[in-house]
Amino acid sequence: MSNKKIEKIRHSLAHIMAATVKELYPRVKFGIGPAIENGFYYDFDLTSPLFPENLPKIEKKIRELIRKDLKFEKESISRTEAKKIFKNQPYKFELIKELKGLQVSCFKFHDFVDLCKGPHIKSTKEINPKAFKLTKIAGAYWRGDEKNPMLTRIYGVAFETEKELKDYLKQVEEAEQRDHRVLGEKLDLFHIDKAIGPGLILWHPKGALLKKIIEDYVLSEYLKAGYQLVNTPHIAKISIWDTSGHTKFYKDSMFPVMQLKEMGKVIPYQLKPMNCPFHILIYQKEIRSYRQLPIRYTELGTVYRYEKSGTLHGLTRVRGFTQDDAHIFCTPEQLGKELVSVLKLTLKIFKTFGFKEFEICLSTRPKKYVGTLKSWQKATNALKYALEKVKLAYQIDPGEGVFYGPKIDIKIKDSLGRAWQCTTIQVDFNLPEGFNLSYIDKKGKKKQPIMIHRALLGSLERFIGVLIEHYAGAFPLWLAPEQTWIIPVGTRHKKYARETCKQLYENSSRSIVKDANETVSKKIREGEIQKIPYLLVVGDKEIKRKSVRVRQRGKGDIGKMKLNKFIEKCQNCLCKRKN
RNA sequence: GCCGAGGUAGCUCAGUUGGUGGAGCAUCCCCAUGGUAAGGGGAAGGACACGAGUUCGAGUCUCGUCCUCGGCUCCA
């Protein structure tokens, strides 16, 4: 069976659901009801609220209709007639008004007529009544515009067979188990506290260590690639954001201004939403020669953005986050080569973290922008050149660029195939113009450099959220904040456990002695839950032979090993950054 | 920000028609000194998110605020 058939089934289910809702709410006004990935939805303007308890009732009615073997019939009617039929359906009416052509197409099913171009199944008997499920009720703006009324949306999932539905529901359950917010609590990595504020992360010892390990790794890669580390403050006078254009274009996403009294005057200060102006000022501190370029400034810069309350989500959407940011200042001739290097570096880093699949988008000029059309075209071409040079497949996201330039976004796919936007690489001719940046060229003339803004992991917070879900909390050895637990069998083995721990630490392996008065079994269980890569049990036999009994995560007891052999095994994994 | 659902111990949750709040895990103490996924016993732990209101009496009913969750919109 083809994909097309399942789409017809999903779309038809949306219609059947609409017919059912009409029975329950005769005065309902209909929005639209398309097929989507894994299912369908329909938007309704209801006279009274719909509760989740009602969903099984609606499901039951849908099944009844399906079993009646009802036909879907296509009808082509004139616009005038359509306007008459849908005169009490304002949303449908609005759609008809915008349709071109004299005839509009409708689908009749049961006694329910819907404006629709189809296609649909011929009869409800093509639907397996056990292979769909209504999943949730949500609010959704009419036509996706927040100025429009909010409709009630019912989501459903549907497949051709009952097994596919069950598999899908199981996969959803698995994804819930991997949810970084759940694992963040279970593994004691971080929390968000009411007393601090929404979207602001408190990193616990294990989470902070994980973050530091990631930061150290990427920073070392950047330094190797010729970047220079800089460091800048969290606040600045607001005037710098006037120059950069942020107060004009992104005021709504910035935290409110602080009014500071200085020299008898009130000077407004602003929490930084990005690092670029700071790096620009470091560049501008002296007169630059073409010989110095490219200059690549990098910073693990923490920025604060006032995201709307409803958009916050665990670590993946927050109000304060650390970017692995960098700004590259280069000549026009160097641009292509620099972009290629950035892309190569990105791929290398993601590979090390275990990500293999990406979605790459080239985002072009948005409605609100600064600069000339010519410079936008040049910047976009440079990005295209780099993508093609590195042989990366990409799609174009029209109008999704930043106000100062086009960009490449890389979304990484986790082990469940979900895509998360992390990397952003932006070419910018406009801030160099706004800040009047320059360098002296070979002929002693002033020229304007080009800037590349790039954050490869994007936000450390989001990246760690993705990483937690990707590994379901079972981090590879080099990332695991606690790599080895040493479990002494009895009190008299504690000393040996501590000596072993010390040796492991001296060989840069993060280790902990679990010497609480509990049974070995309990500590093993705890270690498994905490997803510790290695659990070492030590008792009389191990002391005698200077060895450890090794339990490897996911493999169970792998037997005894000389301590120096175990250290060697760990170091081997660590230097390759493999599990 | 918008629509909807929630907020009870550190965590996961129960709490009947309104009548002074419970369990498991975690914590602390005691016993047990252990060999690969929970040894046993005891204790402590709570303005029931916050603020008003209705009532003789509110975890429970009403309203407001904050926060969380599912979506929508947004994401430099």
Which residues are CB-neighbours of A264 under 8 A, at least 6 positions away? none
Residue A578 — pLDDT band, cuts 50, 70, 90? Answer: confident
Judged by C1' against the alpha carbon of A535, the nearest nucleotide is: B36
What is the reported pLDDT for A284? Answer: 96
Specify the nucleotide whose C1' lies closest to residue A241 (CA): B76
Weakest-pLDDT range from A49-58, A247-256, A394-403, A472-481 = A49-58
A127 within 8 A of A66, measured Cβ to Cβ: yes
**What tokens appear for A488 in the block?**
């002494």
Average pLDDT over residues A249-269: 90
Helix axes A460-471, A162-178, angle to 10 degrees: 130
- In angstroms, the CA A345 to CA A325 distance is 14
Concerning whether A246 is annotated as a catalytic residue, the answer is no
Gap from A192 CA to B65 C1', Å: 20
Q: What is the pLDDT of residue A383?
A: 95
Set A8, A407, A462, A523: catalytic member:
A407
Query: Which alpha helices (DSSP H) does A306-389 contain, by range?
Result: 335-353, 373-389
**Coil, strand or helix at A252:** helix
A20 and A58 Cβ atoms separated by less than 8 Å: yes
User: How many residues are present in chain A?
Assistant: 579
Name the nt closest to A246 by C-alpha to C1'.
B76
CA of A189 to C1' of B34 (A): 30
- One of A276, A330, A422, A570 is an active-site residue; which one? A276
User: Over 80: is that where the pLDDT of A41 sits?
Assistant: yes
Give the model confidence (pLDDT) of A283-341 as tens digits.
999 999 999 999 999 999 999 999 998 999 999 999 999 999 999 999 999 999 999 99
∠ CA(A223), CA(A226), CA(A232), 5° rounding? 60
Nearest nt by C1' to A489 Cα: B34
Length A111 CA → B29 C1' (Å) = 73
Give pLDDT, residue A2.
46
The distance (Å) linking the CA of A512 with the C1' of B36 is 17
Predicted pLDDT of residue A415: 72
Report how far residue A348's alpha carbon sits from residue A342's, in angstroms, rounded to the nearest whole number: 10
In sign, the C-alpha dihedral spanning A417, A419, A422, A424 is positive
CB-based contacts of A200-203 (< 8 A; 24+ apart in sequence): A200/A318, A200/A319, A200/A320, A201/A315, A201/A318, A201/A320, A201/A321, A201/A461
- pLDDT of A26: 86
A432/B9 CA-to-C1' distance in Å: 57
Residue A327 appears among annotated catalytic residues: yes
A308 CA – B27 C1', rounded, Å: 38
Task: For A395-415, write each residue's pLDDT tens digit.
Answer: 999 888 988 899 999 998 777
Distance from residue A191's CA to nucleotide B54's C1', rounded to whole Å = 38
- Report the distance separating Cα A10 and Cα A39, nearest Å: 6
Q: How far apart are CA A232 and CA A417, in angstroms?
A: 37
Model confidence band, residue A3 (pLDDT cutoffs 50, 70, 90): low
Catalytic: A323? Answer: yes
More confident residue, A440 or A101: A440
Cα A228 to chain centroid distance, Å, stands at 28
- Which pLDDT score, from 0 to 100, does residue A252 have? 87
CA distance A574 to A579: 8
Task: Break chain A into its structural domains and give their ranges.
Answer: 3-174, 211-471, 484-576
Give the bases of strand B that a protein CB approaches within 7 Å. 1-5, 11-12, 26-27, 31-39, 66-76
Indicate the average pLDDT of chain A: 92
Residue whose CA is minimally distant from B73 C1': A146
> Could you confirm whether A453 is annotated as catalytic?
yes
**What is the separation of C-alpha A58 from the centre of its chain, rounded to a whole number of angstroms?**
34
State which H helix or E strand residue A278 sits in. helix A276-284
At A175, which helix (H) or strand (E)?
helix A162-178
- What is the rounded CA–CA span in Å between residue A408 and residue A413? 16
pLDDT in tens, A469-527: 999 999 999 999 999 999 999 999 999 999 999 999 999 899 999 999 999 999 999 99
Two tokens, residue A388:
């093609």
Q: Three-state DSSP class for A326?
A: strand
* Predicted local distance difference test score (pLDDT) of residue A472: 93
Q: Give residues with Cβ within 8 angstroms of A341, minimum separation 6.
A: A225
Give tens-digit pLDDT for A334-376: 999 999 999 999 999 999 999 988 889 999 998 888 888 998 9
Closest residue to B4 (CA, C1′): A138
Averaged pLDDT, A150-157: 93
Half-sphere exposure of A425 (CA within 13 A, CB side): 27
Annotated catalytic residue within A11, A279, A327, A553: A327
Contact A18, A126 (CB under 8 A): no
| Nearest nucleic acid nucleotide to A407, CA to C1' distance | B76
Superfamily (CATH) of domain A484-576: Anticodon-binding domain (3.40.50.800)
% of chain A at pLDDT higher than 70: 99
Select the CATH number that applies to the domain covering A211-471 from these four: 3.40.50.300, 2.40.70.10, 3.30.930.10, 3.90.1150.10.
Answer: 3.30.930.10
Most distant pair of Cα atoms in chain A: their distance: 95
Q: What is this structure's pTM?
A: 0.92
The third-level CATH classification (topology) of the domain covering A3-174 is: Threonyl-tRNA Synthetase; Chain A, domain 2 (3.30.980)
**CA A375 – CA A381 distance, rounded (Å):** 10
Is residue A361 part of the annotated active site? The answer reads no
pLDDT tier at A1 (50, 70, 90 boundaries)? very low
